[in-house]
Structure formats: C-alpha cells, structure tokens
Amino acid sequence: MKINKTTLEGVLHIEPKVFGDARGFFLETYNKERYMAAGFPDVDFIQDNHSRSSKGVLRGLHFQLNNPQGKLVQVATGTVFDVAVDIRTGSPTFGQSYGCILSEENHHQLWIPPKFAHGFCVLSDTAYFCYKCTDYYHPDDEGGFLWRDAALGIDWPLSDPLLSEKDKAYACLADIDASMLPSY
C-alpha cells in the first residue's frame, strides 16, 4: 500500500496493494494496523455508507459543522471524480481543493479528514460509491456550497451535471458566514 500526501494538509490519496490473477483480485479496503503503520491517522470508523449513482450525477459539496465526518472513500463499481475542499477558516489552504479519479480499475481511496467538504461526480454509466465515516450523519447539521463556485478552481470533468434540488440552491463558499464553517 502507498499513502500519498496531497496539496491539502491531512487529505491522503491511497493506493492499496491489489493481488490479482486470472481469477480476479483481492485487496484490503481497510486494516487499521497496516494503514496506521503507513501513515494513516488513528481514527475510529462508526458508519459505512454505499450509494449508487448514474452517469452525470454530482453529489456535493457537503460537510457537517458540529459533527464533522472524516471519510475514507472508494469506488466499488464504475468511475468518479472525487473532490475534497478545505473549508477550515484560518487554514493556509482555505478554499483550495484536491480532486482525483477513483475507479474500480485503480482501486484508489481518498481520505477526507473531518472539517473538509466533499463531493463527487459520476463518469461511468453507473457508480457504486462506498465510504467509511468517523461520525454519524446528522441531516440537521449538514451544510454545503455550490459545486461550480469559480473561486474554488475545481476542474470538474462535466459541465451540466444532474443535481439534487438542495445542491442546486447552495451559495458560493465566500457567501457562507464564517460562523457556519469549521475553524482550523
């Protein structure tokens, strides 16, 4: 396994070791002892999620303020462009993002620490997206901002995604009161 630091402090791009042959493949999607030995933080995962989305769907950019979730994300089937955004007020990388391709072919994972926003868009016909969380989902605590916020400089690989009504209505990050964002 290889754990790569990214341009955002704490966000990690993980390349698990995959054992494959003509029969298929095997990989560990998480092993606390091995991940920590390779530089992954000591966290406790308490909720696993699995979603299915169609081509062109964009989910995000979302966060929880009072119950921030760290997320270890990966794709079981299909391909997505996955994004983490630093929304910690006072952070030297506030408003900066990191994006990468996660797919069933590359088996890569992305660690998004608590206090970061997250989103992804589906590039394949269908994607099954799986993630481990460090806190429970609290719908009343969820916040978000506009996926196409030009100030973020995210190079989304699609221009007209399928969005939820909630995601369509979000404002830009700069328009969110700082008290509604986590601190560094």
pLDDT at 26: 96
**In this structure, what token pair is assigned to residue 107?**
């088996």
pLDDT of residue 124: 98
Instruction: Give 10-residue mean pLDDT values along the chain (184 residues).
Output: 97 96 95 96 97 98 97 98 98 98 98 98 98 97 96 96 97 96 96
The whole-number pLDDT of residue 16 equals 95
Q: What is the pLDDT of residue 150?
A: 96
- Catalytic residue annotation: 62, 131
Residue 181: per-residue pLDDT = 97
Beta-strand runs (E) in the chain? 2-5, 12-15, 19-21, 24-26, 47-54, 58-64, 71-77, 79-86, 97-103, 109-112, 116-122, 126-133, 142-144
pLDDT value of position 37: 96
Domain 2-176 CATH assignment equals 2.60.120.10: yes
Q: What is the pLDDT of residue 129?
A: 98
Q: How high is the pLDDT of residue 104?
A: 97
Domain residue spans of the chain: 2-176
Please tell me the pTM assigned to this model: 0.96
pLDDT at position 116:
98
Instruction: Report the pLDDT value the prediction gives residue 24, as an integer from 0 to 100.
Output: 94
Q: Among 164, 130, 170, 127, which residue's Cα sits nearest to residue 148?
A: 170
**Residue 77, amino acid:** T
